[in-house]
Amino acid sequence: MNNQRLETVCRAGKAEKGSIKGVIPASTESFGKLVFNRKVMERMLPKDVFKNIQLAILGKEPLDLAHADTIALAMKEWAMEHGASHYTHWFQPLTGASAEKHDAFINWLTLSDQLIDHFGGKELIQGEPDASSFPSGGLRSTYEARGYTGWDPSSPPFLWKGGDGYTLCIPSVFFSWHGQALDWKIPLLRSDQLVNLAVKRLLNITGIKVDHVFSTLGLEQEYFVIERSFRNLRPDLLILGKTVIGAPPPKGQEMQDHYFGSVKDRILSFMRDFEERALELGIPVKTRHNEVAPAQHEVAPIYERTTLAIDHNLILMELMRQAAHDGDLSLLLHEKPFAGLNGSGKHSNWSLQTSEGLNLLDPSEVEENNLHFLILLVAILHGIHRHHKLLRASIGSASNDDRLGGHEAPPAIISVYLGQELEALLDGIEKGDVESPKKGAQTYDLGLNVIPPLKKDQTDRNRTSPFAFTGNKFEYRAVGSSQNPSLPMTVLNAVVAESLGEILDQLEPKAAKAKSSDELINVTKETLKPFIKASHPIRFSGDNYSQEWQQEAKNRGLEQIANSVEAFSALIDESTFALFEKILTPDELQSRYEVALEHYINQIDVESKLLIELFKTNALPVAIRCQKERAESILAYQKLYMGKGRDLTHQLDKLTQLSELIESAILDIDFLESVRNQALNLPLHERAMQFSTRVRTQCLKSRHSIDQLEALVDDALWTLPKYRELLWLV
Ligand code: ADP
Ligand code: MG
């Protein structure tokens, strides 16, 4: 083993357990300690202000601007009590990460030359960071710098610990001087409003009284953690969070002994560390376990309102990064850090809930009146079928393309798994079965109590499906681990609102005439029939990983889009413009399309540059040294035994093999450089196409040659930590 690697291996073996200090605090007690939450507001705000802000949080009443100063003062006092010196509007530009710009809680009174504590309503409500350097996809030029952040009361302010102090973070939206949305949050909030309106229309028919409806989201975050000192020796992991080369280890995940296996002490300390920090920030982390690949794990908080769940996910990813760092580990959120092993997703469990706490996708919750479930189900299927390409686009990225379709990741074909019972129910309606299926025998009674309790264990799991019904929610499994899930959730809300609207346009007049619940059920069934029929192709209960499904999907008219760049065109399709009418303008969609392409290109470009550099400055010199040593050894041997008939054929063969591999790796890398150079000057769309096809393919090909070299070259010479060290030495 190479000296540098050897030292690192020894150091890794001696690593501290983690950074847990002393007794584990009671999690429920510390929950939300760093959040300006309802409890704090109730304590610190006058009654009328408290009431107004609570209604504003639910989106039911605008915030009375006259209260802004009072709220800001309370927020400042609370933050300063905790030792905060600065505040920031915390927002989500199109980079995919969160952004912040800190200001101190001070003001300078020029006349009296005094520095005073200050944070007013004006500062709370609106900020104006220079926005020129964020991606805008052509919405703004660099000289049009004005961007505004606006406080989003639906997500509570929180204190972020960094350096030695705290910063008050105020979750915000981000828009341009022209009022265009420059973030992922504005469209998400708008889509939630649309769902609210559409579902309330529905519940009006079925007779369930609600105040408002919102979508809920529970995110299962998968990730890898590895020893930091190894990460530091791998420029690809350091810069990209993925390996661009690396020969397969002798043992990967084939023994299936990591999934749900006992968690190593050091990892457990790391988990507890970030969970503790998360609880203080009001993130209800609940589940943790080992995942399928070695060094891969998962964390899942309890579900929340979608917008809050996403804010919390962004915070959680950052907390995990910090906790890993503190434990001398390194967090990898990339969708595919290691070739040949499972990648990481962010399974997005999505449902619709009323303000009264009713889960509308749980048919067992109001057994006696759950017609809404059936209508929602059909609306979801119909919406997803019509916009399946857009759904694929919404989870698209270069890193997710690495993952989709391989090693237990859903394929790049969007389909929906419902389970036998729901399949039978919909088939029955489509065929026009007059008889309602009997309750009990795995069937449904279509009396006003439309569907009997659908116990979770009645729906089997289909882990191969990208979008699966799991008894009381849908699990969207194609979302990538590093992704901000706002866009897929926006699309989901939007397609449901749109197709529900269409169904209701037809159903409402008929329902108004229905004189009994039986009649209502009958007109509902009649209305739903064509929608069920039209969306039939999107339903698939079989093995999504199989070859047959690829063919069948094609026959059904479902597109398999392995390349996200192809899918992104759905963002600027006429059907999307119509779908997003009240969410984003065509210009704003165009901007997101361009940002997605640029991001894709940049990711592959960095990847290709890294690969070229690693080869030229690392793998190649090492391989040549090895080649030289072997050649010299053969020459010396031949000299020693000159004319004595000793056979060196096999050693010569090995040397030839090594030399040929070096040659072909050089050719591959040269070709990669040339396809990259050719692609660089093309217009945006063609460039993205070239990067996503030729450059990407050539990266893979070159990588393959280099990986073969790694497997041949003297281990004492190879400087980069190998897969076996990265994966197994935590
Ligand atoms: P699994 O068995 O697939 O892991 P869980 O019941 O543990 O499913 O849930 C996984 C995630 O789904 C958790 O974050 C959980 O809180 C979330 N979840 C549960 N119910 C809902 C719901 N009604 N809406 C959204 N997410 C939900
Ligand atoms: Mg799950």
| Per-residue model confidence as pLDDT tens digits over 171-181 | 999 888 788 88
Query: Based on the domain organization, do 419 and 532 belong to the same domain?
Result: yes
Query: How high is the pLDDT of residue 591?
Result: 92
137, amino acid identity = G
**Ligand nearest, relative to CA of residue 365:** 1
Backbone angles phi, psi at 205, to 5 degrees: -75, -45
Higher-confidence residue of 130 and 142: namely 130
Q: pLDDT > 70: what percent of the chain?
A: 91
Question: Which contacts qualify for 659-665: CB closer than 8 Å, 24 or more apart?
Answer: 659/627, 661/623, 661/705, 661/708, 661/709, 661/712, 662/620, 662/623, 662/624, 662/627, 662/709, 664/705, 665/615, 665/619, 665/620, 665/623, 665/702, 665/705, 665/706, 665/709
pLDDT band of 421, cuts 50, 70, 90 = confident
Does 249 fall in a domain? yes
Query: How high is the pLDDT of residue 484?
Result: 95
CB 214 within 8 A of CB 196: yes
Pairing of strands 84-91, 165-176: parallel
Distance CA 354, CA 211 (A): 7
Query: How high is the pLDDT of residue 567?
Result: 95
Task: Give the mutation target among 310, 349, 460 for probing the ligand 1 site: most ligand atoms within 8 A of CB.
Answer: 349
* Number of structural domains found in the chain: 2
CA of 218 to the centre of ligand 1 (A): 5
CA of 530 to the centre of ligand 2 (A): 32
Task: List Cα–Cα distances, 355 to 204, 287, 352, in angstroms.
Answer: 15, 25, 10
Q: Which of 80-94, 325-339, 453-467, 490-504 has the lowest mean pLDDT?
A: 453-467
Q: Dihedral through CA 421, CA 523, CA 493, CA 453, nearest 10?
A: -30
Mean pLDDT, the chain, whole residue set = 88
Distance CA 679, CA 694 (A): 9
Q: Which of 97-101, 279-283, 692-696 has the lowest mean pLDDT?
A: 97-101
Domain final residue, candidates 183, 214, 246: 183
Query: Based on the domain organization, do 163 and 284 belong to the same domain?
Result: no
Query: How high is the pLDDT of residue 213?
Result: 95
Query: Based on the domain organization, do 233 and 167 belong to the same domain?
Result: no
Does 661 fall in a domain? no
Residue 456 has pLDDT above 60, yes or no: no
pLDDT band of 444, cuts 50, 70, 90 = very low
Atom of ligand 1 nearest to the CA of 217: 25
Residue 237 has pLDDT above 80, yes or no: yes
Closest to 376 measured CA to CA, from 387, 364, 362, 366: 362
Residue 663 has pLDDT above 60, yes or no: yes
440: tokens are 């009990």
Count of Cβ atoms closer than 10 Å to residue 14 Cβ = 6
Stretch 631-652: mean pLDDT: 85
Task: Take atom 4 of ligand 1 and give the residue whose Cα is closest.
Answer: 220
Pairing of strands 467-469, 84-91: unpaired
Stretch 245-259: mean pLDDT: 78
Query: Based on the domain organization, do 266 and 287 belong to the same domain?
Result: yes
Stretch 484-488: mean pLDDT: 96
Stretch 151-169: mean pLDDT: 90
Does 516 fall in a domain? yes
3-state secondary structure of 23: coil
Distance CA 586, CA 597 (A): 16
**Ligand nearest, relative to CA of residue 347:** 2
Task: Tell me which H or E stretch contains 147.
Answer: strand 147-151
What is the distance of C-alpha 148 from the center of its chain? 26
Q: Dihedral through CA 668, CA 670, CA 673, CA 678, nearest 10?
A: -100
Does 487 fall in a domain? yes
Residue 19 has pLDDT above 50, yes or no: no
Residue 435 has pLDDT above 70, yes or no: no
| Per-residue model confidence as pLDDT tens digits over 521-552 | 999 999 999 999 999 999 998 888 888 888 88
Atom of ligand 1 nearest to the CA of 300: 14
Does 594 fall in a domain? yes
Query: Based on the domain organization, do 378 and 470 belong to the same domain?
Result: yes
Query: Based on the domain organization, do 314 and 251 belong to the same domain?
Result: yes
Task: List Cα–Cα distances, 183 to 134, 169, 279, in angstroms.
Answer: 10, 17, 27
Stretch 212-234: mean pLDDT: 95
**What is the DSSP code (8-state) at residue 35?**
B
Residue 662 has pLDDT above 80, yes or no: yes
Task: Take atom 13 of ligand 1 and give the residue whose Cα is closest.
Answer: 218
Query: How high is the pLDDT of residue 441?
Result: 40
Distance CA 20, CA 303 (A): 26
Residue 22 has pLDDT above 60, yes or no: no
Backbone angles phi, psi at 156, to 5 degrees: -75, 145
**What is the DSSP code (8-state) at residue 254?**
T
Stretch 633-649: mean pLDDT: 83
- Give the pocket of ligand 1 (CB within 6 Å): 216-218, 220, 287, 300-303, 349-351, 359, 470, 472-473
Q: Which of 125-134, 280-289, 557-566 has the lowest mean pLDDT?
A: 125-134
81, amino acid identity = E
Does 678 fall in a domain? no
Task: Give the mutation target among 192, 289, 303 for probing the ligand 1 site: most ligand atoms within 8 A of CB.
Answer: 303
Query: How high is the pLDDT of residue 99?
Result: 80
Distance CA 590, CA 159 (A): 35
Query: Based on the domain organization, do 362 and 404 belong to the same domain?
Result: yes
Residue 693 has pLDDT above 80, yes or no: yes
Does 716 fall in a domain? no
CA of 472 to the centre of ligand 1 (A): 9
pLDDT band of 729, cuts 50, 70, 90 = confident
Counting every residue written for the chain, the total comes to 730
CA of 468 to the centre of ligand 1 (A): 12
CATH number, residue 174 = 3.10.20.70
Closest to 346 measured CA to CA, from 481, 483, 474, 470: 481
Query: How high is the pLDDT of residue 286?
Result: 92
pLDDT band of 338, cuts 50, 70, 90 = very high
Atom of ligand 1 nearest to the CA of 218: 14
Task: Give the mutation target among 354, 464, 472, 473 for probing the ligand 1 site: most ligand atoms within 8 A of CB.
Answer: 473
Distance CA 274, CA 291 (A): 18
Stretch 130-144: mean pLDDT: 65
Question: Which contacts qualify for 35-40: CB closer than 8 Å, 24 or more apart?
Answer: 35/156, 35/157, 35/158, 35/159, 35/281, 35/282, 36/75, 36/78, 36/79, 36/156, 36/157, 36/158, 36/168, 37/156, 37/282, 38/156, 40/78
The domain containing residue 535 runs over which residues? 191-541+548-600
Query: How high is the pLDDT of residue 384?
Result: 96
**Ligand nearest, relative to CA of residue 354:** 1
Query: Based on the domain organization, do 148 and 199 belong to the same domain?
Result: no
Query: Based on the domain organization, do 418 and 555 belong to the same domain?
Result: yes
| Per-residue model confidence as pLDDT tens digits over 84-128 | 999 999 988 888 778 888 888 888 888 888 888 888 888 888 887
Closest to 294 measured CA to CA, from 221, 224, 220, 222: 224
Distance CA 210, CA 208 (A): 6
CA of 342 to the centre of ligand 2 (A): 16
Query: Based on the domain organization, do 307 and 438 belong to the same domain?
Result: yes
Query: How high is the pLDDT of residue 129?
Result: 74
CA of 571 to the centre of ligand 2 (A): 28
CATH number, residue 347 = 3.30.590.10
Q: Spell out the residues 6+ positions from residue 707 whose beta carbon is closer than 8 angstroms to its own.
A: 245, 246, 247, 248
Query: How high is the pLDDT of residue 625?
Result: 96
130, amino acid identity = D
Residue 18 has pLDDT above 90, yes or no: no
Is 220 exposed, middle or buried (CB count within 10 Å of its CB: 0-12, 13-18, 19+)?
buried
Query: How high is the pLDDT of residue 25?
Result: 56
Query: How high is the pLDDT of residue 438?
Result: 43
CA of 75 to the centre of ligand 1 (A): 33
Helices (H), 292-387: 306-326, 371-386
Domain final residue, candidates 160, 183, 206: 183
Q: Spell out the residues 6+ positions from residue 626 whose beta carbon is closer than 8 angstroms to its own.
A: 658, 712, 713, 714, 717
Q: Which of 66-75, 448-457, 554-563, 578-587 has the lowest mean pLDDT?
A: 448-457
Higher-confidence residue of 423 and 16: namely 423
Count of Cβ atoms closer than 10 Å to residue 37 Cβ = 15
DSSP 411-467: PSB--EE--HHHHHHHHHHHHT-SSPPPSSSS----SSS-S----GGGSPP-TT-SE
Query: How high is the pLDDT of residue 238?
Result: 95
Residue 455 has pLDDT above 70, yes or no: no
Query: Based on the domain organization, do 341 and 451 belong to the same domain?
Result: yes
Domain final residue, candidates 558, 578, 600: 600
Residue 453 has pLDDT above 60, yes or no: no
Does 414 fall in a domain? yes
End-to-end, the C-alpha distance of the chain in Å comes to: 18
Question: Which contacts qualify for 35-43: CB closer than 8 Å, 24 or more apart?
Answer: 35/156, 35/157, 35/158, 35/159, 35/281, 35/282, 36/75, 36/78, 36/79, 36/156, 36/157, 36/158, 36/168, 37/156, 37/282, 38/156, 40/78, 41/74
Query: How high is the pLDDT of residue 139?
Result: 67
CA of 216 to the centre of ligand 1 (A): 10
Q: Which of 408-417, 430-439, 535-544 has the lowest mean pLDDT?
A: 430-439
Query: How high is the pLDDT of residue 442?
Result: 46
Q: Which of 155-159, 573-577, 643-647, 722-726 has the lowest mean pLDDT?
A: 643-647
408: tokens are 């237990």
Query: Based on the domain organization, do 316 and 338 belong to the same domain?
Result: yes
Atom of ligand 1 nearest to the CA of 303: 16
